[in-house]
Amino acid sequence: MNIEQQIISLRNELSEHNYNYYVLDNPTISDFEFDQKLNDLQVLEQAHPEYYDANSPTLRVGGEITKNFETVPHTYRMYSLENSYSKEDLEDWEKRIEKMVDGAVEFTCELKYDGASISLTYEDGQLKRAVTRGDGFRGDDITANVRTIRSVPLHLRGDYPPLFDIRGEIVLPFEGFAKMNAERVELGEEPYRNPRNTASGSLKLQDSAEVARRPLDCLLYNLQGERLPVKTQFESLEKARQWGFKVPEAAKLAKNLDEVLEFVNYWDIHRHELPYETDGVVVKVNSLQQQEELGYTAKSPRWAMAYKFKAEQVSTLLHQITYQVGRTGAITPVANLEPVELAGTIVKRASLHNADQIQKLDIREGDTVFVEKGGEIIPKIIGVDFTQRDPNSSPTKYITECPECGTPLVRAEGEAQHYCPNVEVCPPQIIGRIQHFTSRKAMDIEGLGKGIIEILYYNGLIQNYSDLYYLKYEKIIGLERWLDNETAGLKYKNHLQVDLKTAIFGLSYKWGNLTLKDSELLSSEIHSIKDILNYKVDNTNSYGKKLLKLQYKLKNSLKSIDLENFPSLEGYVSFNLLLQLKFPEICALDLFKKDEFYNLNYIDESLKLSNYNRVKDFEPFIIKLADRNRISIQDLTASNMLLAIEASKSRDFDKVLFAIGIKDVGEVGAKNLAIHFKNLNNLMNATYEDLISIRDVGNSVAINILEFFASERNLEIIERLKVAGLKFEIVEKELGSNKLEGMTFVVSGTFSIERNELKRIIEDNGGKNVSSLSKNTSFLIVGENMGPSKKLRAEKDNIKMISEKDFFNMLL
């Protein structure tokens, strides 16, 4: 056996052992033997680089560094699923399906795993690409990181197709998650919050070697491709297992809805026995032919439904109701809660939605409330424990003025939401509109997150999104902004608010030496720095002894300080107060006035002028705060940001239209408007009647569009965007011919070429593809295995049916 054959043989043997261990959970050799064989292969590969293979088992350990993850389009869109929460929801869904397809309908039931969605592309049996879900149309290429996950096959076995995609979830098993957290706690670091977020974050690490050290797993469940060798979803799961994929065994073929509900009820009880997080069951129409007939809505497949298990529920204390301002001026009341663990995360806040919801539930500050996670994602308050209510409590009075700019709020007739009408001056509205403009689904300007936008806004460089295209490097380099970790702003005009956890951590430097974890624990149980003095300490453990020392030091320091001079929000501490507490000698130098806001540059310069000799003590404290409470624009950030802004000028018209933020005009709506009107001038000149004639544009959306373009300010901003070079018209691509102009086609079945290629040819010759038949459809192109319901519908509506050969004859 020559060297190349030895290498190939070892690779095949190790891949087989890998499959046995990570997919079948049935190892046939010891870990020591596996490591020995892996080492033998590494030695051979290093000595003979000419036999390099990107899918070699030796590359599972990672080592590739990815600075920026390339965004790539999905060959097949990744849709989201429609959710259901009751038997009635599933029954309604079943009725809709039965009206649209012929014959009996069977279902495949699968568990809904809670992880990070992934799409894997295989070509000739080799892993070619791994892409995140992204916005469904495109995602980030994270192939280097996914290669390190042992349950992801690098080579397939059996009768796999030459090219296909397979979808699934990257998950972090409970056991591995617990082990990772135990190691972090031992090192004095914060534990991770939940497996789902940790798995998702792991996939975007720049060093694939670090990903390889994390016990990630990959569960696959959905095939996508042309002419796949399967006819049902259940068969596709079995095939995927044969090809080497880790497909969960917990799947069932159900003949009717009663059997679906049996599966749901069983796993609602037994899901806690699984090694992974699950939050429901996915029910799919089993026949792939019926799936094709049912098709898709704008957001989800009609042939699948996610049944969500009942959310976990806890009770906790509502301390305070505060109010947030959105980019449209909408006011959202927020419940600030006693921190409580819910579905693996610590919940401190929950949305109260609007004034009607507060009145309906009769929620008051000081109430004990019931909290659950809607869909186990967003916390919401579902009721009040009236048995715990203080008899002297007062009903909640909804605010009448904007909490940010003081403008009287308005509430339109028939609307639940209050609004701040101060569109041009209210900071959260301005920042929110710019943030929406730069978001991924809009102009997709990387490196322009909320923190950077706030730096630019509060330093006076941008007042609207058109200003982004006129930024200069020399103006933005070095700009900084101090943040409080939660709301990223100065709640008191001249008093920086540091979150309580960070403040305790900073003070405990030589005042008790609390770890960050200790500081977080303490801050979750108190509401102000003064509460530390009254905190009951158990001095029988090391944590308690540290707290006693902190209490003693804090009590002595507070004796000479009037807290009225240092206003602090609940859960935060005035930065100026921290300076007074920790460094009274510095403050006594009269360099720092109580009513001024400080930044690091000011402090550094002042210390140099004073020749203060305790800088060694002062700097670590400042740095501990600065690392968590300051964001600045440095050279690389500035350069990349300007490049990203320039690159955004190539975004298509529909993206620009979505980005400018017309109220209630979403991503799909913007695309429909762009296709219909072709350019912005046509849209701006459209009448109310023109607008409501368009699909999905109703009365309120039409009025919003007219009002948006009636604003002189908006017109000025758009003119600046035009000058900057953004696209305000659809660039018509050159057609192969216009022979199909005015014709609409439905393509159904399988053909000699891929269906997507056939659709492309239709569009390249002036035709239009539609997903479902109607009386306006010109032709139904009939392929093999077309569903009978489409044929019946075409005959009923006198739609002409043609073969693939007939279609190509039309182009001659």
Ranges of H-type helices in 271-354: 288-294
Query: How many Cβ atoms from other residues are within 10 Å of residue 581's Cβ?
Result: 23
Question: Active site includes 472?
Answer: no
**Closest Cα partner for 199 from 257, 135, 270, 151?**
151
What letter does residue 581 receive in the DSSP assignment?
A: H
Give the C-alpha distances (Å, rounded to integers) separating 626 from 481, 584, 645, 801. Answer: 10, 19, 28, 69
CA distance 319 to 194: 25
Residue 795: its H or E element: helix 788-796
Give the Cα separation of 503 and 724 in Å (integer).
44
- Distance in angstroms (rounded) separating the CA atoms of residues 146 and 171: 12
Distance between CA atoms of 349 and 336, rounded to whole angstroms?
Answer: 5
**Are 349 and 316 in contact, with CB atoms under 8 Å apart?**
no
Task: Count CB-CB contacts under 10 A for residue 322.
Answer: 17
Residue ranges of the alpha helices (H) in 537-679? 542-558, 575-582, 584-588, 600-610, 615-629, 635-647, 653-659, 667-677
Relative to beta strand 497-499, strand 572-574 is antiparallel
Q: Is 110 a known ligand-binding residue?
A: yes
284 labelled ligand-binding: yes
Task: State the number of CA atoms in the 13 A half-sphere of 609 facing the CB.
Answer: 11
Beta bridge partners of 699: none
d(Cα 625, Cα 629) in Å, to the nearest integer?
6
CA 181: distance to chain centroid?
23
Q: Is 218 annotated as a binding residue?
A: no
- Are 639 and 473 a contacting pair, CB within 8 Å? yes
Comparing CA positions, the residue from 566, 571, 523, 630 lying closest to residue 322 is 571
Q: Which residues 6+ apart lie within 8 Å of 97 measured at CB?
A: 105, 285, 294, 302, 303
A 10 A CB-CB count for 206 gives: 14
80 is in an annotated binding site: yes
Both tokens of 116, joined, read: 């990070």
CA angle 182-29-217, nearest 5°? 40
> β-strand 83-84 against 304-308: which pairing, if any?
parallel
CA distance 60 to 22: 13
Q: Determine whether the annotation assigns residue 261 to a binding site.
A: no
- Annotation-wise, does 420 bind a ligand? yes
Q: Of 112, 348, 582, 655, which residue is the catalytic one? A: 112
User: Which residues contact residue 457 at a Cβ distance below 8 angstroms, ignoring those fewer than 6 apart?
Assistant: 427, 430, 431, 434, 463
Q: Is 177 helix (H, G, I), strand (E, B) or coil?
A: helix
The residue written with tokens 């659950």 in the block is: 372
SS3 559: coil
Which residues make beta-bridge pairs with 130? Answer: 120
Task: Dig out the tokens for 602 from the structure.
Answer: 């000011």
Residue 653 annotated as lining a ligand binding site: no
Q: Annotation-wise, does 33 bind a ligand? A: yes
Residue positions in the annotated binding site for Zn(2+)? 402, 405, 420, 426
Q: Which residues are annotated as a binding site?
A: 31-35, 80-81, 110, 133, 169, 284, 308, 402, 405, 420, 426
Q: List, by residue number, the catalytic residues.
A: 112
List the binding residues for NAD(+). Answer: 31-35, 80-81, 110, 133, 169, 284, 308
